[in-house]
Amino acid sequence: MSKHSSVYYIYKESGFEAVEKAKPYKNEMGLDLFTYKDGLYEGQTGLRMCSINTDFKTLAEKKGLTAVNEIIQSQISKAGKCPRYTRPDELKKDVFPKTKNENIIFAKDVYGKKHYYYQIYNENGFKLYTLNKAGDTFQTLYILCEGYMVEMNGGNGFDETIKWLTGLENGIKGEIERRFNESMTDPIRIADIGFANVLGRYDEAMQHNKPIYEARKLEYQKADAEREARRIAEETADKEKYEQAVQTAENRILNKKTVDNDKINDKSLIMQLFRKHEIAVPLKTQGWIIHSLDDMYYSEKRSRWSYHYTGNDSMVFYNYLDKLVSSVLAESRQGMTYEDYKKQQVNTDDLKIFFAFSNKQFDENLAVLNKKFNTNLEAKDLVSAFGGMVGVKEDITEFLNRIDEKNKKIPELFSPQEVYDYEFGNYECGYVCNDEEAIKIAAEYFGADTAKKIKRKYGYAEI
């Protein structure tokens, strides 16, 4: 194919006419084709071959490529080749010269990014520009200064901006320099980099800003660390609340006490028990547990666990309730170490006791206790026990009884050797080379005769 220009022409009765918005049309036949408006044209002749919607390849194959070339050559013999081929060095810009709009300039903002700006006419002699076309609402105004477009109004109206510009004693550059110098004399104020670019003082501004940026970075990092610490604390508190609630519920099951289906972190407590013990509950029953189940309780009369509910009863819940109770009981006796058992807290939800280590803590916790039990107890109604414990005398006694009951189960659940080994480390007997504390505790739980059979370390103390 002969050399040709990038300008496309179409053939009319009056001659060849250059068209600006033509596009090349790729084909596998080696023809110079292009599209213009709704037609497909041949490049050498400018001849319209078919509609743009027609499949030219199919059409050409139907007529034959030879026939297509004959049409092209016949047209060339009649009208000659179009200027696309007779003027191969012709440029589009020469054929379609652009009319320059004096009201539009391509300039950079104070940070170096380039945009098109539109000049706004006014009667005050200021050359003001906007990024938006004239007629748009709430235009931001700019003025050219040292080759940079500087934002003027910052949200003020046109008249206010003109008034402000008119009142500048040293012009816009003088005002920029005044503000920049003010920031440069303030050790905690950021110098505007845009103003620095206008004034040619970029390096100076960066040197001034560096320690401020570093200080602010530390402040941001501190704030981020504090937020993260709060998040972790909240998550930890939620986790502890959840774990304590689940543990309390399990203890109540072990002691055959009612377990209310309270909301723990916005989740059904009893449903969480099923999940913890990996008991698969159908989705429908899960919904019933979450929305209808009030509590689960041990019926002494029937010698089995039962439940209260609101609305319709579940036909299958008893099956899953029995599985849950069995799992809790099994967990309390299997796979539990002596250390785990020691860490389990005795349930005090129904006891009027609390711990306080200062007068302020005493007053706060007493108020919480009175609100919880709807009582009006005063300091004179309470007694003190060990470890900061305060409460009603009868409830403290009950608390101690529960500890005794818990300790009585130790011989049933754990071996003397396991108890001894744990307490040996717990009381750091190895450091003093004397197992007196460990063997005394083991003897209290299992008796002296049994304790004598324990394999001891540093067994100097007599039982």
- 320 and 375 part of one domain: no
Burial (CB < 10 A; 0-12, 13-18, 19+), residue 317, is: buried
Q: Which tens digit of pLDDT belongs to each residue from 212-255?
A: 999 999 999 999 999 999 999 999 999 999 999 999 999 998 88
One domain for residues 320 and 369? no
- State the Rg of the chain over Cα: 45
Q: Are residues 112 and 183 in the same domain?
A: yes
Count of domains observed in the chain: 4
| Residues 83 and 110 grouped into a single domain | no
For residue 226, give the H/E element and its range: helix 202-254
User: Does 108 lie in the same domain as 192?
Assistant: yes
DSSP state of 256: T
37: phi > 0 → left, psi -120 to 50 → alpha, else beta; which?
Answer: left
Give tens-digit pLDDT for 129-154: 888 654 445 578 899 999 999 998 66
Cβ-Cβ contacts under 8 Å for 417 (sequence gap 6 or more) = 454, 455
155 falls in which pLDDT band (50, 70, 90)? low
Whose CA is closest to 258, among 300, 302, 315, 312? 300
Using alpha carbons, select from 417, 368, 407 the residue that is nearest to residue 390: 368
Residue 229 lies in a domain: no
Indicate the residue among 77, 95, 113 that finishes a domain: 95
Least confident interval from 36-40, 302-306, 314-318: 302-306
Cα–chain center distance at 32: 56
Percentage of residues in the chain with pLDDT exceeding 70?
96
Question: In this structure, what are the phi and psi dihedrals at residue 108, rounded to the nearest 5 degrees?
Answer: -105, 145
Q: Which of 95, 122, 156 is the last residue of a domain?
A: 95
Which position has the higher pLDDT, 314 or 137? 314
Range of the domain at 31: 8-95
Same domain, residue pair 87 and 120: no
Model pLDDT for residues 51-92, shown as the tens digit of each residue: 988 888 888 888 888 888 999 999 999 999 999 999 999 998
Higher-confidence position of 453 and 245: 245
| Chain position carrying tokens 């903002």 | 109
- 309 is a domain residue: yes
> Is the Cβ–Cβ distance between 116 and 104 less than 8 Å?
yes
Report whether pLDDT(178) > 70: yes
Query: What would the pLDDT profile of 365-415 be if each residue is shown by its tens digit?
Result: 999 999 999 999 999 999 998 888 999 999 999 999 999 988 888 876 777
Are 192 and 274 within one domain? Answer: no
Cβ count within 10 A of residue 396: 20
pLDDT at 154: 60
Nearest to 104 by CA among 94, 91, 112, 116: 116
Looking at the structure, do residues 108 and 195 belong to the same domain, yes or no? yes
In this structure, is residue 207 part of a structural domain? Answer: no
Phi-psi region of 314 (alpha: psi -120 to 50; beta: other; left: phi over 0): beta
Last residue of a domain, one of 95, 115, 148: 95
Three-class DSSP category at 282: coil
* Residue 156 reports pLDDT greater than 80: no
pTM, two decimal places? 0.39
Q: Compute CA 57 distance to the chain's CA centroid, rounded to the nearest angstrom.
A: 54
- How many percent of the chain have pLDDT more than 90? 59
Start-end of H helices in 101-201: 158-166, 171-184, 193-199
The answer to whether residues 178 and 185 touch, using CB atoms and an 8 Å cutoff, is: no
Is 115 in the same domain as 65? Answer: no
The reply to whether 274 and 361 lie within a common domain is no
Q: Is residue 346 part of a domain?
A: no
Q: Is 413 part of a structural domain of the chain? A: no
Q: What is the mean pLDDT of the chain?
A: 89
In a domain, residue 80? The reply is yes
CA-to-CA distance for 376 and 430, rounded, in angstroms?
Answer: 50
CB contact at 8 A, 132 and 118:
yes
Indicate the burial class of 276 (C-beta count within 10 angstroms; 0-12, 13-18, 19 or more): middle
Tens-digit pLDDT profile for residues 325-366? 878 876 876 667 888 888 888 888 899 999 999 999 999 999
The verdict on 381 and 398 lying in the same domain is: yes
Is 449 inside any structural domain?
A: no
Strands (E), 356-414: 383-384, 389-391
Antiparallel, parallel or unpaired: β 104-109 and 148-151: parallel
